[in-house]
Homo-oligomer: A and B are copies of this chain.
Amino acid sequence: MRHGPDLSQHDGMDVFEVMQTARAMRKLKPDPVPEELIDRILEAAVCAPNGGNQQKWWFLVVTDPTIKEQVQPYYAAALQEAHSYAYASLPPGTTRAQHDRQFSEVTHLTEHFHEAPVWIVLCLDVGEGEPSFSSGASIYPAAQNVILAARALGLGATFTNRHLRYAKEVDAVFALPPTVRSYAIIPIGWPDKPFGKVRRQPVETVTYRNTWGNRA
Residue A5, interface by CB 8 Å: no
Q: Does A149 contact B (CB under 8 A)?
A: yes
Say yes or no for A24: interface residue by CB 8 A criterion.
Answer: yes
Interface residues of A in 1-45 (CB under 8 A from B): 11-16, 18-20, 22, 24, 39-40, 42-45
Of the listed stretches A107-115, A187-195, A200-208, chain B binds A200-208
Chain B residues, Cβ within 8 Å of A143: 137, 140-141
Chain A 135-160: CB-based contact to B (< 8 A → 1; otherwise 0): 11100110111011100100000110
Nearest B residue (CB) for A62? B210
- What distance in Å separates the Cβ of A40 from its nearest Cβ neighbour in chain B? 7
Contact A210 B64 (CB under 8 A): yes
Would A44 and B24 count as touching, CB distance under 8 A? no
Contact of A212 among B57, B177, B183, B213 (CB under 8 A): B177
Q: Which B residues are CB-close (under 8 A) to A203?
A: 39, 42-43, 45-46, 59
In the assembled complex, A88 has its CB within 8 A of some CB on chain B: yes
A137/B184 in contact, CB under 8 A? yes
Within 8 A of B (CB), among A61-88: 61-64, 67, 85, 88
Question: Which positions in A face B, CB cutoff 8 Å?
Answer: 11-16, 18-20, 22, 24, 39-40, 42-49, 52-55, 57-64, 67, 85, 88, 91-92, 94, 102, 126, 130-137, 140-141, 143-145, 147-149, 152, 158-159, 161, 164, 173-177, 180-181, 183-184, 198-201, 203, 206-213
Q: Known pairs A46-B200, A61-B210, A64-B210. 12 more at Cβ < 8 A?
A: A15-B148, A52-B88, A53-B200, A58-B208, A60-B209, A62-B210, A130-B133, A133-B136, A134-B161, A137-B159, A141-B143, A141-B159
